[in-house]
Structure 1
Amino acid sequence: MSLDTVKQAEQTPEAAQPWKELGLKEDEYARIREILGRRPTGAELAMYSVMWSEHCSYKSSKVHLKQFGEKAPQTDALLVGIGENAGVVDVGQGYAVTFKVESHNHPSYIEPYQGAATGVGGIVRDILAMGARPVAVMDPLRFGAADHPDTKRVLPGVVAGIGGYGNCLGLPNIGGEVVFDPCYQGNPLVNALCVGVMKHEDIHLAKASGAGNKVILYGARTGGDGIGGVSVLASETFESTGPAKRPAVQVGDPFQEKLLIECTLEIFREKLVAGIQDLGGAGLSCATSELASAGSGGMRVELDTVPLRDATLSPEEILMSESQERMCAIVEPDKVDRFLEICEKWDVIATVIGEVTEGTRLEIFWHGDQIVDVPPRSVAHEGPTYHRPYARPEWQDALQADDANALPRPATSAELREQVLRVVGSPNQASKAWITDQYDRFVQGNTVLAQPEDSGMIRVDEETNLGVAVATDGNGRYAKLDPYAGAQLALAEAYRNVAASGAKPLAISDCLNFGSPEDPAVMWQFAEATRGLADGCLALGTPVTGGNVSLYNQTGETAIHPTPVVAVLGVIDDVTRRTPVAFKDAGHLVYLLGDTREEFGGSAWSQVVHDHLGGLPPAVDLDRERLLGDILISASRDGMIDAAHDLSDGGLIQAVTESCLRGGVGARLVVPDGLDAFTFLFSESAGRAIVAVPRSEEMRFTDMCGARGLPATRIGVIDGDEIDVQGEFTLPLADLRAAHETAIPSLLG
């Protein structure tokens, strides 16, 4: 490279540059030239291309995401909100919990094992960078049709990657989802969540302040894997004719990450950092520009000091590399030696690569030659903002008019029985044990609840039994029918799942998975879903703490269903009072909470029995959801119930089947007056749950529900070894178990 690269850029304004190949639009390239007052150098062009990508800059989504701040409910629990690596919530007793969900969708289709593994690694480092010890992970997953050959390629690799990385880190996997639908055939959704715990005083932020403070890169060496990886992969559509621009997927090393975690936590304990940032999407381009942008000065970096795995890497490749297991810290000069000592103790490579300056520029040098001279905010926080056109699709009215409530229903009790077996044995409703058994759910010894419970629960404090619960939910079928309601239904279900376990919902993180923002119909779905989620969070009092947007999830012209995935975190004062899903004691009464209506749009029954998607999703009543949550939490805390299960996909019969199979005991059910057996069993009306009530607590429980105005209907009793829907049919648990537990292994095993 010739010397004085920045000066050379000033003197050669007409030199051709590969801005288009790097994913920039013509007007974006012109804007970069305007910001710099000259053409960018090759290194600057590389930085802007990854940092202004859809994945890193949110350029198509941020005009809608601002609602999460504008409509945020007032709460004292939120300690750190949107804008940092992850949100932080006060859970009491001096503890804070940080959590976030992100996507690694496109890399996981290209290379399922490494794509999923590095998705786990990246979200864990986000949590670590906040100052917290990671304590658990979760994995909401979406795949194509369960019987499609490519699903058999992608799913086992993704599951092995999640399990392999998380198990090696010693982090329990406590929940998530697995959903199959043909719309995800070329675009599986691999979303990853991590939860971390710290004391209030241990919170760290990503900023570089204090002129003279050193910039230290530590962790793995930088390699050629993942150059432009997720930042470019997640910023364009896959063409149906074949791969267009698919750079190498990052390669993960969980043992290196484990050392990095313990090393970082010791550094935090000794209070050695003034700012810290993990290296994920966009690598060093992101870490240096974001740290400098959020700080009070500039930054100078000597790029040739970066430890490399591949000595042939160019400066542009080093800046774009998304090699895993790396962190960047800002350290005061008198603390550098101790910082490096701790890194050496943990066998973690650490190198001073630069320092914070009094200026306002991010300056990067390569063997003495200046290759970058930019305002850091222009790279990190002032990228393009698009007001993409959006319009309600022409086909939406016809889709909603194709009412699932009009589909043929079972004409006999025998037909009803047969359809129950079909639904509970369908891939989406069947047991996911073949998948979740590959994850360690109980390592560290603080897992209180894990899948297939309604929410995962972790003990935070071993003396007081303080704990947190997390649930993730999303239903792309509902959101396709009505994206506003679909987003609120995802929020409501996750909220309900947390409350059903006995925890009080506090806050949410979200992963918004959609097709191409250049399609006005997709952009309308996104706008409606974000509006629905913002309105829903305001109504439920659960602020959005952060999250992720994943766009361009489509192959050719075919987009995935709009899939907003919502993670709700709640707190429970005493984990010994949690409520499990399993029915246990014969003689306990089964109560249905909430109202059941004829609501089959987007339902499991309509999908399994009729391969149908149409109509309207279940109606949303957030006041009812909040009331139901309060009742479930109070009943759990006061010992009035000993099992609870939310009603969602598959309706009441799905929930009863899962509770019976989990506890190994049957139930006798009576269809309530005013309902037919089919609607009773398969309706997916929201705002409902089933609970098991000891007879000694029945009056106290029903009095509480009556006083609060929540419908509570006694529908049966726990008893025997079959589910007996009186007057209709009986199903031995052995038959239900065979249908429920063999579906996934027979497809994938």
Structure 2
Amino acid sequence: MTLDTVKHAGETPDTEQPWAELGLKQDEYERIRTILGRRPTGAELAMYSVMWSEHCSYKSSKVHLRQFGEKAPENDALLVGIGENAGVVDVGQGYAVTFKVESHNHPSYIEPYQGAATGVGGIVRDILAMGARPVAVMDPLRFGAADHPDTKRVLPGVVAGIGGYGNCLGLPNIGGEVVFDACYQGNPLVNALCVGVMKHEDIHLAKASGTGNKVILYGARTGGDGIGGVSVLASETFDDSKPTKRPAVQVGDPFQEKLLIECTLEIFREDLVDGIQDLGGAGLSCATSELASAGSGGMRVELDRVPLRDATLSPEEILMSESQERMCAIVEPGKVDRFLEICEKWDVIATVIGEVTDGERLEIFWHGEQIVDVPPRTVAHEGPVYERPFARPDWQDALQADDANKLARPETAEELREQVLKVISSPNQASKSWITDQYDRFVQGNTVLAQPEDSGMVRVDEDTNLGVAVATDGNGRYAKLDPYAGAQLALAESYRNVAASGARPLAISNCLNFGSPEDPAVMWQFAEATRGLADGCLELGTPVTGGNVSLYNQTGETAIHPTPVVAVLGVIDDVNRRTPIAFSDEGHLLYLLGDTKEELGGSAWSQVVHDHLGGLPPAVDLGREKLLAEILISASRDGMVDAAHDLSDGGLIQAVAESCLRGGKGARIVTPDDTDPFVFLFSESAGRAVVAVPRSEELRFTDMCGARGLPATRIGVVDGEEIDIQGQFSIPLAELREAHEATIPALLA
């Protein structure tokens, strides 16, 4: 077979090409021909197909994502924003922290272990590419119904992949979520977050500048695993009724990645790179085109120099392969020898595959024959932009009118007690320790808080105890009822969780998980959620630093609930002042902060007791969220509270139960006179937290709340070995613990 060179492509304009099989639309293929002034070569077609995929180009979401820049709040802490591998914020004392959350959803359904493992590996390399040492990971996860047979296949594999890869890297897994809902059957959400730490001067960007600088590919050899990978796999709906593109899921090697991390950090310390990019989605197609596009010139690459695991790979396959544990660096000629020496020291394969040119083209050669000659921006940054039609679905009004507040409620104290135990032992509210115990949460010795705390927290500086906290949250049920409010509730909960631990929220990353963008109802959900998130970040003063969009999460016509997952990062000056969730000291007074209203739409109670989804989600008051956060942070810093727990899924009783079980102490709770006991226990009103206040600090604490206008209601005391809802019922902690901890092991045994 004749090699499809640039010259040959120019001479054979009528050659049929498999553009549709590679996921391109006809108008996209015609646009490529217009850009090039000829038909593309096979290699060029491969590059455009993966780089213009939904996963890599954001072609259906760009028009909405622009709001994150247009509405961005002023924030002096933001050092690097949207557009790089990850955002970077200033946390003080000369330190910068980078963090990002991304998805690996479709691969994790097909091959749970490797899909999840390589999701961790990919996000870790994104953080590494910014110049930072990765210090922690988190994983927000969503699966189908807990009792569905396929959940037993997917969940254990995903958890083993996350633990196996992260534990081998020596990175603590400090938080995340596990949610079960039938809407995720066939489309689990495996989102992965990584946090990294560096000094300000160590920040690196993905750009190829400096004519004559060398392009070095280093790390693992390139193989046939993951050809097309997530770039194609995440750009199509699963549908058993027709053939679907299911390329091989990438195969990860965490020990190779660990060597790559240490090798790269040593290279950074010796200031040997001018630009750097990890190889993730779209592999070499992405790394070369993005580096060249963001640089000041062109790039020439000798593709036949790429080290291979499989010598039979074609040039197109090499360009599309998403083999893991690979990086691409731009290095000045005088520093190449030292760069290669360090790679050899760490047993990392490194090869000079090209150089930066003074032109404006990305040129790729195969054994001397030119197979790619493209303007790099057209591949990396100027792909299609769709203004997909969107419309509020005709079923939305009926869904919201089906008010959860009208559902049958318990009529006796005994029935109320039964429903409390039913909610607390339900899969979504039960202890996830069976899962989190498979993750190493304390490796490296700097973990301060980890699951099941409100947020994960790690120490950044061992001398000053500077630290950062991160929380991830998202409630697809709320977003299904109202995507605008649902996105803001996810933001508010994550913001509140960080503040409850004593840290000051600084910035966010997000992973926006939705169904097919070709469905106007799904695009309406996406548009509304994005608008809600942008408006919310502006009001809270927390800029979006980056993130990920995951579309086509549906099987046939059935889409997942719209699920915007929001990660908030905050800073704490002294991790010794952190606030845990545990009620651990008898006699401490319990205060409920915020207002409790009759808000049960999308609630855990409505789901568990009635299998119901309808009505409106809790109202959002971001001004109240800011005030609550200020109170929680001040109280933590000044030693006024010994424990704090935000109120969200499951309401007050869920928070109190978790705090009591965590600390091994019971509580006596009194329902306020003006509140129905059922609403008091199960309402999911936002902007609330429960805190444990030492008696010596009560006056100072209540004076602070009163002066700032935050409702603070004394509802009880830490005491005994049971939760006693006075005048209603009591539950011994032993009974509560058995109910809370037995569910997940029983489901997955």
TM-score normalised according to structure 1 size:
1.00
In structure 2, the residue matched to 1:722 is 722
What does 1:65-464 correspond to in 2, within 5 Å?
Answer: 65-241=65-241, 244-464=244-464
What does 1:620-659 correspond to in 2, within 5 Å?
Answer: 620-659=620-659
SS at match of 2:113: helix
Cα RMSD (Å): 0.6
Q: CA deviation at 1:287?
A: 0.1
SS at match of 1:126: helix
CA distance in structure 2 between the partners assigned to 1:569 and 1:192 by the alignment? 15
In structure 2, the residue matched to 1:555 is 555
Verify the 8 A CA contact 2:6 2:370 in the aligned structure 1: yes
In structure 2, the residue matched to 1:525 is 525
Q: Does 1:678 align with 2:672?
A: no
In structure 1, the residue matched to 2:736 is 736
Q: Deviations 1:472-500 (Å, cap 9, x if unpaired)? A: 00000000000000000000000000000
Q: CA deviation at 1:458?
A: 0.2
Q: CA deviation at 1:241?
A: 3.4
CA distance in structure 1 between the partners assigned to 2:627 and 2:336 by the alignment? 53
Q: Does 1:542 align with 2:542?
A: yes
Verify the 8 A CA contact 1:640 1:693 in the aligned structure 2: yes
Q: Which amino acid aligns with 2:613?
A: L
Is there any run of 5+ residues in structure 2 with no aligned partner, and where?
A: none
Verify the 8 A CA contact 1:455 1:471 in the aligned structure 2: yes
SS at match of 1:601: coil
Q: Does 1:57 align with 2:57?
A: yes
Verify the 8 A CA contact 1:514 1:561 in the aligned structure 2: yes
Verify the 8 A CA contact 1:583 1:659 in the aligned structure 2: yes
In structure 2, the residue matched to 1:43 is 43
Q: Does 1:2 align with 2:2?
A: yes
Verify the 8 A CA contact 1:4 1:369 in the aligned structure 2: no
CA distance in structure 2 between the partners assigned to 1:436 and 1:357 by the alignment? 49
CA distance in structure 1 between the partners assigned to 2:234 and 2:242 by the alignment? 16
What does 1:679-718 correspond to in 2, within 5 Å?
Answer: 679-718=679-718
Verify the 8 A CA contact 2:509 2:567 in the aligned structure 1: yes
User: Using a 3 Å threshold, how does the CA distance of structure 1 residues 405 and 127 change in structure 2: closer, same or farther?
Assistant: same
Q: CA deviation at 1:242?
A: 6.7
SS at match of 1:83: coil
* Identity percentage of aligned residues: 89
Q: CA deviation at 1:2?
A: 3.4
Verify the 8 A CA contact 1:217 1:326 in the aligned structure 2: yes
In structure 1, the residue matched to 2:479 is 479
SS at match of 2:568: strand
User: Using a 3 Å threshold, how does the CA distance of structure 1 residues 682 and 10 change in structure 2: closer, same or farther?
Assistant: same
Verify the 8 A CA contact 2:4 2:42 in the aligned structure 1: no
SS at match of 2:177: strand
Q: Which amino acid aligns with 2:115?
A: G
SS at match of 1:661: helix
Q: CA deviation at 1:673?
A: 1.7
Verify the 8 A CA contact 1:529 1:564 in the aligned structure 2: yes
SS at match of 1:448: strand
CA distance in structure 2 between the partners assigned to 1:22 and 1:725 by the alignment? 61
SS at match of 1:429: coil
Q: Which amino acid aligns with 2:116?
A: A
Q: Deviations 1:631-676 (Å, cap 9, x if unpaired)? A: 0000000000000000000000000000000000000000002101
CA distance in structure 2 between the partners assigned to 1:445 and 1:4 by the alignment? 54
Verify the 8 A CA contact 1:206 1:275 in the aligned structure 2: yes
Is there any run of 5+ residues in structure 1 with no aligned partner, and where?
A: none
Q: CA deviation at 1:383?
A: 0.0
Q: Deviations 1:24-54 (Å, cap 9, x if unpaired)? A: 0000000000000000000000000000000
SS at match of 2:385: coil
CA distance in structure 2 between the partners assigned to 1:243 and 1:504 by the alignment? 49
CA distance in structure 2 between the partners assigned to 1:223 and 1:87 by the alignment? 30
User: Using a 3 Å threshold, how does the CA distance of structure 1 residues 683 and 535 change in structure 2: closer, same or farther?
Assistant: same
SS at match of 2:411: coil
Q: Does 1:510 align with 2:510?
A: yes
Q: Does 1:31 align with 2:31?
A: yes
Q: Which amino acid aligns with 2:121?
A: G
In structure 2, the residue matched to 1:668 is 668
Runs of 4+ with >2 A deviation: 1-4, 240-243
TM-score normalised according to structure 2 size:
1.00
What does 1:594-613 correspond to in 2, within 5 Å?
Answer: 594-613=594-613
Q: Which amino acid aligns with 1:684?
A: E
CA distance in structure 2 between the partners assigned to 1:168 and 1:423 by the alignment? 36
In structure 1, the residue matched to 2:570 is 570
CA distance in structure 2 between the partners assigned to 1:477 and 1:164 by the alignment? 31
CA distance in structure 1 between the partners assigned to 2:254 and 2:312 by the alignment? 25
Verify the 8 A CA contact 2:4 2:41 in the aligned structure 1: no
Q: What is the count of residue pairs matched by the alignment?
A: 749
SS at match of 1:673: coil
CA distance in structure 1 between the partners assigned to 2:81 and 2:739 by the alignment? 44
Q: Which amino acid aligns with 1:307?
A: P
Q: Deviations 1:611-633 (Å, cap 9, x if unpaired)? A: 00000000000000000000000
SS at match of 1:97: strand
CA distance in structure 1 between the partners assigned to 2:405 and 2:602 by the alignment? 10
Q: CA deviation at 1:188?
A: 0.1
CA distance in structure 1 between the partners assigned to 2:2 and 2:175 by the alignment? 54
SS at match of 2:549: strand
Q: Which amino acid aligns with 2:313?
A: L
Verify the 8 A CA contact 2:670 2:726 in the aligned structure 1: yes
Q: CA deviation at 1:240?
A: 3.4
CA distance in structure 1 between the partners assigned to 2:257 and 2:700 by the alignment? 51
CA distance in structure 1 between the partners assigned to 2:6 and 2:733 by the alignment? 73
Q: CA deviation at 1:244?
A: 1.1
CA distance in structure 1 between the partners assigned to 2:712 and 2:245 by the alignment? 56
